[in-house]
Every structure is written in C-alpha cells, then in structure tokens.
A and B are shown apart, each in its own frame.
Chain A
C-alpha cells in the first residue's frame, strides 16, 4: 500500500534498476522519493507499513545528486553583470537551460562592475528553489571589485576598488545589499581585508580568495579570519613557488583552523588549467576540489563576440579571450563537460568526479544536510547519467525537469 494516511498523503516513487551514489560509492540500491525529499524505505516499511505508488525502471542508469555550480557568469547570450531591462527573464533562461547540463542549483556570478550595476541587478535576483522552471538559485557570487590590479584578468580596471576608505561600509555601499549574496571573492593582501572577511563570515557569507597577489601567510591569515574558498585555483593568482607557494599553498597548509576545510574551485575545461596541474591539485587535496564552469554569456552559443560585464570577449571553440588579447575570460564549458574532463584527466573514480560537482560545493556552502547528497531527508535533486557520465535526465524535488531527447538522434 502507498503512504500511510496518518503520515502523508503524498505519492511515493521508487526508482529501481539503478546505481545510486551514496556514502561515496555507487551502490545497487533503489531510490525512494516522497514530497520532494529522499525517503528512507526501511522506515517506510516498518513504521508506516507503506510501499511505493509508482515504480520507475531506470535501465541501469547512475543516479547522482544534482550538480551545483558556484561560479557562472551567464550563458546563452545572457550576462549576469549587465543591467538590462529584461534581466529577470535572462536569469530565468539560464537557470532553465543549465538543467540539461545537470545543474540543479547555482550561484549567479557578477564580475567586477560599477556600483550602479550592483544596485540595479542585485535586487532582481532572489534565492529560490528550482523546479520545472529551472535550476534553484542559492545566492549570488560577487567576484570583485575588491581584487588586485595585477591579477584582474578579464575584469575592468576602472571599476576595481580597495578597502582603504571605509572597509566593510565601503563594501556595503558598493554592493547596495548583501541579502542574497552567498559568496564574495576578494584579494586578501589588501589592507583592512581581515575586518571585511570577519564581517562577511559573521553574516554567513562565504569568503573566497582570488584575483590576488597574496603570499601564503596573507592567504593563511585570511583563512584564519574566515575565508573558506579559492576562486579558480591557479588562475589570477601568483604561480606556485617552492619558497612561497602563495594561495596555492593553502591546499597543503598546516595553519588551517581545526575542523575547517579550504575548498578550491577548478575550471576543468582543458584550457584554464593544464591537466597535469589539475592532477597536482587533486592529489594534494582531493576533498577540497569544487568543479565550477565560470561560464560566460557565450556558453551555449556559436563562436564569435559576446559581452562579459564591461568587456567584449571573443569565443573560438572552447577558448574565450578578451577581444584582441590572449587573456582568458571565463569559459564556455558546461558543467557535465567539466565533470567528464575532470574524470578523464585525473583518472579518478566516477564517484569522485560526481562528488566534486555536487557534494563538495554543498559542503562549501554548508548545505550538505539538504543538497549535494542522496541521503535520507535530503532534497530530491538528482540526475540520471549513463556510464560515460552524460546526463540523461534531471530531477528537482523528485520531479523530472529535463530529459535527454532520444527521438532526434
């Protein structure tokens, strides 16, 4: 019999003939879902004397938690750092399209922009659950403008700022509001950055180090004040040096406060980082690796020119440069491509590759009790993939929100 009426009326779905990612392993188990959450079938059986209403045969697919992208600047022609009139429909479009890449939750990212852009754009983004309309929004990632001039990368120099004048008050004034902000990337070597990091951490905002020329001790100090993430490791920071590893040294630093873990984003599109460097980082600190796309507006579109905030970028294949230069600016890789490339380049297990895009970002944001895993009572955001890690179907809150079109092959 289905659900016990005294507990819940909602239908129970049992996904069978699948391998689910649980406890860091692919296990041959069924996945049970009720009311948008993963259900414990043993409790259902003994306590409620309930059983499934619907059984779905997954044809031996892999079922993994939905991917979480914490650094994505736009896509499909939409640029999150551009204050357009139809901004809301732009973000809706992206959140809908990335379902096919396996992303069920994301942090729309804004690159360094003039203060006016933040004031116009931020109020238009709200934290919301995903569904058939698109992937869920966990909060905004503000990458800049409090970053280093020397490592600005594709960010516009005239918009860069420091903490000299008013530190945290300055930051608040620049952004306008921190209501929906989940992550802030800043350069810790800037004066008064420690107080800012402390203020942000106090408000539950994840502080990330990036676009910086900090040395290792400056980076460690930042971590001690609350920083927990590194924005696209290796890119826009000092290269690893054996007498001063810089930010990269955080991966194996012994000055990390007890019980804390430093996470680091990696764009594994095969361009931003040489596979050998990817392997070095992964082997040094496998549990901290978070796959991000850093995708820009051109992702999903044909090669050519697109905008990235105040800049114009040029796309040629998988490479994206500031128009007329060789400076990399974001990527056009999709999350599932990154997962596959990561798995091939490092030779890691399927489980590790999948966790780098689901469990680790959830742990970074402190939401692993409800996202990023298939544990009982978690949100039922998951993917069906084949053995080559191509997404076949995407589910949010137990509902199918995207399926690979088999007909037009």
Chain B
C-alpha cells in the first residue's frame, strides 16, 4: 500500500484529486475505451439529500459526463437482488473497475460493508449498523426514525476486483479505523483491512487520521512523500497525453 499523509482535509482532497486526474489522463480514455471510476453507494433516491442529489451537485454537474455512463444502484428497484446482480454484470461489461475511490467509516467499513461483512461479498442489500445510522442522521434533520436502515452496496469482493483502490480518510474520528485497517490483521470486523491483500492500494489521509498509528509507520511514509509526490507532479493534461504515454511508468512498484 501507499500511505499518503497530508497536513489537512483540503490538502488531502487536492492530492487525491490530482492523483485521480493523472490516472485518468495516463489511461488515455476515448471512444470505446472507458475509464471506469467506482464510488461507494449511499442513501436512497427521492430525498433532497439523496445520493443522486449529492453526486449531481458535487460531481456530475461540474463535468461533461454523459448520463448513460452513470450507473447508480437504484434503491427503489422492484427486485433489489436483481438490481444488485445486474450491477455486477454492468461492471463486468465495462471491463471492470479501473479505480475505486472510497472513504472509511468510523467502524472501519468500506461502502456499506458493515463489520461482519464477508470479505468476498458482492453487490447486495445490506442492513446498516447503528453507527452508520447515527452518522447519516444529519441528513434527516437528526431524526433517527427517518434514516433508512438498509442500503444497496458494492461488496468487499467487488471492490477487491478493481485494478486500483484509493481510500480517503480524514479526521481524528477515523484514526482508530485507520489503525485497524493497516496496522492490524485482515479482519471482517474492519472490512477495509481486506485491502492489505490488494496489489494496488493508496490510502490518502490527513494528520489527524494518523493519531492512532505507530510513530514508526507515520515517519516511514512521510519519508516517502518525495517519491509519492511524483505521482501528482507533473499534472498531466489530455493534450500532452501523446508524448507522456510512453513515459507513464510508475516511479516505483509497491
């Protein structure tokens, strides 16, 4: 894994954004060659704070993506299991996920794969843990009874199939989960730990998120920042893509 430690939330976000941009440009997407970006699912539709609104306001409306290339799990589908199975098929049809970007819950979950989720699970309906319900209460005026108790989610196995995984972790409240994810063993109670067995994982975090890690771990990875920063500088653009492609080898391997 690569552990990228930035000073604060904005810097971590910016680093992650630049990295994703470089990955997309280096991939050289074009007609028929899609860069498949995976993102975890969220709240059901038909709510002002729904995942659709969130994704529209924070992502889709700022870019020129075609609506047909957007696939969001539909929590209102008549047959939820069929919806999940179809989603897995769509991923296969698109050639697999190139890069999966996700966060981590305070209980160490990736997407809605709550503690106890199988580490080889696929896209399915999942009952949410109390921790997650509490965390989402802010979207429902703090009224716990209004928070949905189930969600559709990609499975741990689904994410493990992605060619690259990037996890963003910021804030002191996530520190313990980060510790469990990377310094302890692989454990289905902390599902993010599954990525210890993925060949290509990047964890991007801020200082506060490292509060529960060993000083040795933090020093080691901070020392690697000079090398890691080569992944975001220079910032590639689609125009220069032609010449850069031949030099797009990673500076070092995991």
Residue A1 at the B interface, CB < 8 A?
Answer: yes
Contact call A51/B56, Cβ cutoff below 8 A: no
Q: How large is the interface on B (under 10, 10 to 19, 20 to 34, 35 or more residues)?
A: 10 to 19
Residue B60 at the A interface, CB < 8 A?
Answer: yes
Q: A41 vs B64: C-alpha distance in the bound complex, in angstroms?
A: 13
Per DSSP, chain B at the interface is helix
Q: Give the nearest-CB partner of B57 in chain A.
A: A42
Number of A-B contacts (CB under 8 A): 27
Q: A48 vs B70: C-alpha distance in the bound complex, in angstroms?
A: 12
Contact call B52/A51, Cβ cutoff below 8 A: no
Q: A42 vs B56: C-alpha distance in the bound complex, in angstroms?
A: 6
Q: A45 vs B53: C-alpha distance in the bound complex, in angstroms?
A: 11
In the complex where A46-B52, A46-B56 touch, is A51 in contact with B66 (Cβ < 8 A)? yes
- Min CB distance, A136 to chain B, in Å? 31
Contact call B52/A30, Cβ cutoff below 8 A: no
In the complex where A30-B61, A41-B61 touch, is A1 in contact with B56 (Cβ < 8 A)? no
Contact call B67/A42, Cβ cutoff below 8 A: no
Q: Mark A1-23, 1 if CB is under 8 A from B, else 0.
A: 10000000000000000000000
Contact call B68/A45, Cβ cutoff below 8 A: no
Q: A1 vs B57: C-alpha distance in the bound complex, in angstroms?
A: 20
Contacts of A48 in B (CB 8 A): 67
- Min CB distance, B69 to chain A, in Å? 10
Contact call A46/B61, Cβ cutoff below 8 A: no
Q: Mark B67-96, 1 if CB is under 8 A from A, else 0.
A: 110101000000000000000000000000
Contact call A1/B66, Cβ cutoff below 8 A: yes
Contact call A1/B68, Cβ cutoff below 8 A: yes
Residue A49 at the B interface, CB < 8 A?
Answer: yes
Q: Mark A24-53, 1 if CB is under 8 A from B, else 0.
A: 000000100000000001100110111100
From 38 to 66 in chain B, residues with beta carbon under 8 angstroms from any chain A beta carbon are: 52-53, 56-57, 60-61, 66
Contact call A49/B68, Cβ cutoff below 8 A: yes
Q: A46 vs B68: C-alpha distance in the bound complex, in angstroms?
A: 9
Contact of B56 among A45, A49, A50 (CB under 8 A): A45
Q: Give the nearest-CB partner of B56 in chain A.
A: A42
What 7 new A-B contacts, CB under 8 Å, besides A1-B66, A45-B56, A49-B68? A41-B56, A42-B56, A42-B57, A45-B70, A46-B52, A46-B56, A46-B70
27 contacts between A and B (CB under 8 A): A1-B66, A1-B67, A1-B68, A30-B61, A41-B56, A41-B61, A42-B52, A42-B53, A42-B56, A42-B57, A42-B61, A45-B56, A45-B60, A45-B61, A45-B67, A45-B70, A46-B52, A46-B56, A46-B67, A46-B70, A46-B72, A48-B67, A49-B67, A49-B68, A50-B67, A51-B66, A51-B67
